[in-house]
Amino acid sequence: MIRVLDVTKRFEDTLALDGLTMTVPKGSIYGLMGLNGAGKTTIIKHLAGFLKEDEGDITIDGEYVMDNEELKKRVVFIPDDLFFFRSYSMKEMAAYFSRIYPAWDQERFETMASDFQLNTGSNIGKFSKGMKKQAAFCLAMATKPDYLILDEPVDGLDPIVRHKLWHYIMADVADREMTVLISSHNAKEMEDVCNYIGIMSHGKMVLEGDLLEMGDVSIESLFLEKLGGIKGGEIDG
């Protein structure tokens, strides 16, 4: 379980997180939404261990995230702005990941790479943006993480690839109780895959809960009720 309690973060004169509290239940697929500047990316970077809160507490399974190398071996973050070592192939990145993540599954890596028709011996730097995102998922899912944190995970991918990726993710949630936190601006897609929702505004949580308990209501309508500003199913995030 991810717990964020009264977290505040400032960048010079900007208050990015303002007493943010949120809970991501174990085994859930949690959709995090909000307008630009709401603080979504900031809290995600805290959960990934890249930023330290000024005030409040952030824990995963009761453990603090910052400087916790053992915990980080169970958490994988795929950012919207992907990074790979220069000139590395997928195969070389896989060898690097296998030394860091104790649950590394080489067979899964090879199966997924084959499924997405990626050449593991080619330089990832020469891949298209969509192929790089697929490569990132192959590497991430092969670590068999307990927590998968995603920032705009399928943006720019074609429908067939998106379907395959969600299949892998949802299978791990069902089989291993993997917990997934997704930041996305696509309300329709979030509604299809998420069972929990959180809506942020100005560094605070304005709505959080189990979608099943909310009844027959769309994420778009929830967003419109709390913040407004939806256009064509895409929430500016």
Which pLDDT score, from 0 to 100, does residue 152 have? 84
Which residues are within 8 A (CB) of 203 and not within 5 positions of it... i.e. 6 or more apart?
A: 8, 9, 15, 16, 17, 18, 19, 20, 38, 39, 42
Give the residue-averaged pLDDT of 14-19: 95
From the list 20, 11, 27, 12, the residue with the least C-alpha distance to 178 is: 27
Confidence of residue 236 (pLDDT cuts 50, 70, 90): very low
Provide, rounded to the nearest whole percent, the portion of the chain with pLDDT above 90.
71
Mean pLDDT of 32-37: 88
List, for residues 125-140, the tens digit of each pLDDT value.
Answer: 899 989 999 999 999 9
Question: 0.85 cut: is pTM over it?
Answer: yes
The pLDDT tens digits of the residues spanning 155-193 come to: 878 999 999 999 999 999 999 999 999 998 788 888 889
- Domain spans, the chain: 76-145
